Copies of this chain bind each other. A is one copy, B any other.
Amino acid sequence: MGIDPGVARIGWAVVEAGKNPPKAVAYGCITTKQSDAHEQRLLVTYKAFCTLFSRYKPDCVSMEELFFSKNVKTAIHVGEGRGVLLLAAAMHKTLVTSYAPLTIKQTICGDGKAEKIQIQHMVKRILKLKEIPQPDDAADALAIALTHAYSYKIKERTV
């Protein structure tokens, strides 16, 4: 399972990595209400991911590393959201691997500076989907899941 962390929108995607090409099993986006208290949004996120983990029982989780932008307050909130996602994974005894945005872009597009739309096109191509997955957060989560699938395969080959 790939996860694109956040507070308002958290993308998720389950990919079967053993197949060639890898198969998109399910994907979506959990949203939380801006009108809710921050800790309430964390609770909604946590419960939603506990349900997803129980439903799909992923072998492993890959998550985007935090990218600290100009807005430190937003970054802190996203960090808090990420903590809750890590906790949900630990609760379900699922190993988490984190990838920097650059690594994800490099793995999917072969270019660390790839644009969002290029990533989306490559995700569609790799998974042989008819259309670009929607919403964007889910497409990002698919890219994160595929990044781990590829790095995992590489590790398998070299062991």
Contact = CB atoms under 8 A, between A and B. Distances in A.
A109 B78 CA distance: 32
B83 A40 contact: no
A6 interface: no
Interface string A50-88: 000000000000000010100010011001111110110
A96 B91 CA distance: 23
A68 B72 contact: yes
Contacts of A111: none
Contact of A76 (B39, B40, B66, B89): B66
A23 interface: no
Contact of A87 (B84, B90, B96): B84
A42 interface: yes
A72 B79 CA distance: 11
B96 A39 contact: yes
Contacts of A37: 90
Interface of A: 37-40, 42-43, 46, 66, 68, 72, 75-76, 79-84, 86-87, 89-91, 96
Given A42-B90, A68-B72, 17 more contacts: A37-B90, A38-B86, A42-B83, A42-B87, A46-B87, A75-B79, A76-B82, A79-B79, A79-B82, A79-B83, A80-B80, A81-B83, A83-B83, A83-B84, A84-B84, A84-B87, A87-B87
